[in-house]
Amino acid sequence: MGTPILIIIYVLSGIIGLCVGSFLNVVIYRVPLGMSLAKPSSHCPNCQYKLKWYDNIPVISYIILKGKCRSCKKNISIRYTIVEVVTMLLWLCAVLRFIDDSYIFTIIAMLAIVAFIAVFFIDLEHQIIPDRFNIMILLLGVIAIVSNIFFKDNSLLIDTIPWQQRLAGLVFGGLFFLIFHYGSILILKKEALGFGDVKLVAACGLLLGIYNLFIAILVSSIIASVVLLIVRKKKNDKKDTEYPFAPFLIFGMTFAMFFGSYIVNWYISLF
């Protein structure tokens, strides 16, 4: 692909990524509360001030307003800006990482990132994973399989994960976490892992394939152990508080989506 076209793609991905991040803030706030995404228009949760278009420009409005509501001056959560910037950065990373491999997987990865960020923040705050995001991830996996079959002669349209790996990711990832889910209820008499996590792992298994899924679970388990150890120590917690696991899973899945194939190829090269 020519350099001028690539520059246009990067600039567009960055700008659209910021706007999608802005929309994601609405999704993260409203979907768990069962609110409509269209109505009412964005307003301050404190004083109900209706945001004008110039209060709603990603990142820039936050800086101009110095992080405060224009009307009541109450602090606006920095999370809104974080979501916008993270969406933009991950979209740019997706273009950088996948555009030379597969155009279709570049778009699939960008859409997966949208679902990943929504699940990360919703589970962190509400300890639920709305089904629509798991379905979205699952559908992206199906699209990847279908496009791999449909465009099998065009290497820029397919990606390198064979459908067998994807199906294995769905079945084994789902089964493994299902056993873990019911096992913890039977043995520990509590839900160590929510059913939403089971569905998330199954859907991501289909999207990323069994090898990437394995790496993702490994990474998320390690990070979760370290983070929860620190959090529990700081809070002086007696191990009975439940913490959301999906944010760690999402971190692992994102890591594996970007770097999984490098790790797998390196591992294979050892033999």
CB of 70 to Zn ion, least distance (A): 7
**Selected binder of Zn ion within 72, 135, 146, 230 (CB under 5 A):** 72
Cβ nearer to Zn ion, comparing 73 with 132: 73
Span of 38-46, 92-100, 103-111, 175-183 interacting with Zn ion by CB under 5 A: 38-46
Cβ nearer to Zn ion, comparing 49 with 172: 49
As a whole number of angstroms, the distance between CA 178 and CA 199 comes to 9
As a whole number of angstroms, the distance between CA 264 and CA 215 comes to 9
- The answer to whether 177 touches 226, Cβ cutoff 8 Å, is no
Cβ nearer to Zn ion, comparing 37 with 47: 47
Neighbour-count burial of 258, counting CB atoms closer than 10 A to its CB (0-12 exposed, 13-18 middle, 19+ buried)? middle
Span of 25-33, 42-50, 147-155, 190-198 interacting with Zn ion by CB under 5 A: 42-50
46 lines the binding site for Zn ion (CB under 5 A)? yes
CB of 151 to Zn ion, least distance (A): 50
Angular region, 64: left φ>0, alpha ψ -120 to 50, beta rest: alpha
As a whole number of angstroms, the distance between CA 258 and CA 235 comes to 33
CA angle centred on 174, ends 170 and 175, rounded to 5°: 120
Count of residues of this chain found to bind Zn ion when the rule CB under 5 A is applied: 7
44 lines the binding site for Zn ion (CB under 5 A)? yes
Calculate the alpha carbon distances from 67 to 18, 51, 89, 98, 244 in Å: 17, 14, 21, 35, 28
- 3-state DSSP call for residue 68? strand
**Selected binder of Zn ion within 10, 23, 49, 172 (CB under 5 A):** 49
**Selected binder of Zn ion within 18, 20, 69, 249 (CB under 5 A):** 69
Query: DSSP secondary-structure letter at 31?
Result: G
Phi and psi at 68, nearest 5°, equal -125, 150
**Selected binder of Zn ion within 71, 127, 184, 221 (CB under 5 A):** 71
Encoded one letter per residue, x for contact with Zn ion by CB under 5 A and - for no contact, window 95-114 reads: --------------------
CB of 32 to Zn ion, least distance (A): 21
CB of 27 to Zn ion, least distance (A): 21
The number of beta carbons lying within 10 Å of the beta carbon of residue 253 is 32
Span of 62-70, 118-126, 181-189, 192-200 interacting with Zn ion by CB under 5 A: 62-70
Residue with tokens 């509501």: 69
CB of 176 to Zn ion, least distance (A): 47
CB of 246 to Zn ion, least distance (A): 31
Binding site for Zn ion (CB under 5 A): 44, 46-47, 49, 69, 71-72
